[in-house]
């Protein structure tokens, strides 16, 4: 396959400004329980590829399953680009790479029988449904995906890269009248099936918290000092700021260009934010992105000031900046676009107790049920919350939603914890019709002043 890609890129090099070929083989196992029923057990395999070429500033793209016809599809991609091309091609320069990236797995899910995987998930599902009469239903999901990707371009890069993605979630659901509450435990990894094993105590904790959430009073709406736990911190920085840092989002939005000016002050000198593809074992780990560019640790905010963004070769070239290895595609059906990997607020030096003791009245927000972002505005639901009263964590409350302007919120972070933690959930990042792309997020506890909390 490697030689075939090299032949095509060499043959078509004179017909376009740039051409790349990506061939992918994928195998997947998926399991889903809903309530007491085993809803899905499936295995599938896919094999296909895509050709992308650039002529006079415009892209042509074809995906296919018949690899024997790759030359025909390359001709189609070139013809598309020529038809559209009316500008100038600018791709940031990178050095050609030849490499083989083999998996280094701690425990390979391919060595675990399907029956064993189903039995493990059934155990968690039975635990949830047998925990209490107050737990009325459950959702348990598991999947693993193995990829081999062959990539080559007309500049001499030729890479074979193996990838593994493992993830799942166990959710306990309580319902009473028109009230429904759920709590979950999620797991994920890019190199270790063990992440799915031995989580019984965490599943029990999720069940108990679901019951407590059902009984908890609604939070009283208002403005509070909020402490976000590491899971919520990571989701916040991914959703509310990470997407604003993606090069294509900035390049295509004049207002965002004005807001996201390099050197702009976004917070205190204690605030550091980065995105990295280098942490092995994380769902956001990758050695090369889908343009064959080595990934790296890219600081977005350093000591409170904007210092970088996340680029493909195209956006880096257009903006006169450095490519960062953030061009990612969901699979061979899609062209790569600017995407995150593992997005993080870097830990500080304050303990959780030190954060809490100065708060007379506040909210401790844990995990997330999801949310919405609209440019610089955000709304997130916390998985659960607790009031903070007179410097101590007090009663549990429900329906905690946080909203605000991301830039104002970053400036209102006045304490950053020393307890950074990493999260690999079962979902993924969605953008441009490509979902769920494997990502991870990371952060410590943070304290934020003047947060709008929705409630009664």
Q: DSSP string covering 423-448, please?
A: E--S--EEETTEEEE--EEEE--EEE
Whole-number pLDDT of residue 357: 96
pLDDT at residue 291 is higher than 90: yes
Q: What is the pLDDT of residue 372?
A: 83
Q: Report which DSSP code applies to 175.
A: E
Q: Count the Cβ atoms, other than its own, within 10 Å of residue 223.
A: 11
The domains of the chain, with CATH numbers, are 2-215 (3.30.2290.10), 222-454 (no CATH)
Percent of residues, the chain, with pLDDT higher than 70: 100
Using pLDDT thresholds of 50, 70 and 90, give the confidence band for residue 115.
very high
Prior bond of 435 cis (ω within 30°): no
Rounded Cα gap, residues 307 and 296, in angstroms:
15
Rounded to whole angstroms, what are the CA distances from 237 to 16, 275, 323, 407, 432?
A: 39, 10, 21, 11, 20
pLDDT digits (tens, 9 = 90+) for 303-351: 999 999 999 999 999 999 999 999 999 999 999 999 999 999 999 999 9
| Token pair recorded at residue 42 | 């499936």
pLDDT of residue 422: 87
> Cα–Cα distances in Å, from 157 out to 49, 55, 57, 291?
17, 19, 21, 9
Chain position carrying tokens 């193995």: 146
Q: What's the pLDDT at 118?
A: 98
Least confident of 226-230, 365-369, 384-388, 420-424: 420-424
pTM: 0.96
- Determine the pLDDT at residue 134: 95
- pLDDT of the residue at 229: 97
Is 142:31 a contact under the CB 8 Å cutoff?
yes
Specify the pLDDT at position 149. 98
Of the pLDDT bands very low, low, confident and very high (cuts 50, 70, 90), residue 28 is very high
User: Is pLDDT above 80 for 425?
Assistant: no
């Amino acid at each position: 396959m490697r030689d075939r890609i090299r032949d095509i890129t060499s043959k078509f090099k004179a017909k376009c400004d740039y051409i790349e070929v990506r061939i992918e083989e994928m195998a997947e196992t998926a399991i889903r329980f809903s309530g007491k029923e085993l809803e899905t057990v499936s295995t599938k395999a896919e094999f296909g590829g895509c050709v992308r070429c650039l002529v006079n500033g415009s892209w042509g793209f074809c995906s296919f399953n018949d690899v024997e016809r790759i030359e025909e599809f390359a001709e189609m991609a070139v013809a598309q680009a020529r038809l559209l091309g009316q500008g100038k091609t600018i791709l940031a320069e990178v050095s050609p790479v030849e490499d083989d990236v083999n998996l280094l797995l701690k425990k390979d899910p391919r060595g675990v029988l399907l029956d064993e995987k189903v039995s493990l998930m059934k155990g968690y599902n039975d635990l949830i449904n047998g925990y209490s009469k107050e737990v009325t239903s459950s959702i348990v999901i598991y999947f693993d995906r193995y990829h081999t990707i062959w990539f080559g371009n007309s500049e001499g890069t030729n890479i074979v890269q193996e990838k593994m993605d493992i993830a799942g979630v166990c959710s306990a659901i309580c319902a009473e009248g028109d009230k429904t509450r759920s709590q979950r435990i999620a797991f994920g990894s890019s190199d270790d099936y063990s992440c799915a094993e031995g989580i019984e105590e965490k599943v029990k904790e999720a069940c108990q918290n679901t019951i407590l959430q059902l009984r908890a009073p609604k939070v009283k709406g208002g403005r509070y000092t909020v402490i976000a736990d590491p899971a919520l911190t990571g989701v916040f920085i991914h959703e509310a700021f990470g997407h604003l840092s993606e090069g294509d989002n900035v390049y295509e939005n004049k207002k965002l260009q004005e807001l996201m000016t390099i050197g702009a002050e976004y917070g205190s000198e204690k605030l550091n934010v980065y995105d990295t593809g280098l942490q092995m074992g994380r769902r956001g780990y990758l050695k090369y992105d889908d343009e064959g560019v080595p990934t790296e640790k890219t600081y977005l905010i350093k000591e409170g000031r904007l210092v970088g963004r996340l680029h493909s070769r195209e956006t880096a070239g257009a903006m006169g900046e450095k490519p960062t290895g953030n061009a990612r595609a969901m699979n061979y059906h899609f062209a790569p676009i600017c995407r995150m990997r593992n997005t993080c607020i870097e830990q500080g030096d304050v303990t959780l107790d030190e954060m809490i003791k100065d708060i007379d009245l506040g909210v401790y927000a844990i995990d997330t049920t999801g949310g919405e972002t609209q440019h610089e505005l955000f709304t997130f639901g916390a998985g659960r919350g607790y009031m903070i009263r007179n410097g101590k964590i007090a009663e549990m409350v429900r329906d905690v939603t946080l909203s605000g302007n991301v830039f104002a919120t970053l400036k209102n972070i006045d304490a950053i914890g020393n307890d950074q933690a990493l999260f690999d959930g079962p979902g993924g990042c969605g953008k441009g019709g490509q979902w769920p792309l494997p990502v991870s997020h990371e952060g410590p506890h943070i304290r934020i002043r003047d947060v709008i909390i929705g409630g009664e």
